[in-house]
Amino acid sequence: MSNLLCDIDHFKRINDKYGHFQGDLVIQYVAGVLQDQVRRDDIVARTGGEEFALLLSDVGQQQAQLIAERTRQTIINPGDVSSRVKLA
């Protein structure tokens, strides 16, 4: 089992500049991408304001790193206005 922890870079700036409604949309977008990147048996959880955890069953370190990078790239390169969102 692997555990990935991530958060949205500079999320406070997003909330401050665009408002909480837009911040909530960003959280929903990121949560959707995270859910799309894992298998049905894996778990995606929001653990804090802009923090998420992914529990990946039967996944080793190398595969977890590949999943993390693929997910990060999907979030930062969506091809629309959300491309300013970064994940760490």
Q: Residues 8, 26, 33, 50: which is the catalytic one?
A: 50
Q: Is 51 a catalytic residue?
A: no
Spatial contact of 85 and 76, defined as CB atoms under 8 Å apart: yes
Strands, sheet with 43-46, edge to edge from the N-terminal-most edge strand: 43-46, 51-56, 2-9, 86-87
Spatial contact of 67 and 1, defined as CB atoms under 8 Å apart: no
For the chain, the first-to-last Cα distance in angstroms comes to 20
Measured between alpha carbons, how far is 82 from 75 in angstroms, rounded to an integer? 8
Catalytic residues: 50
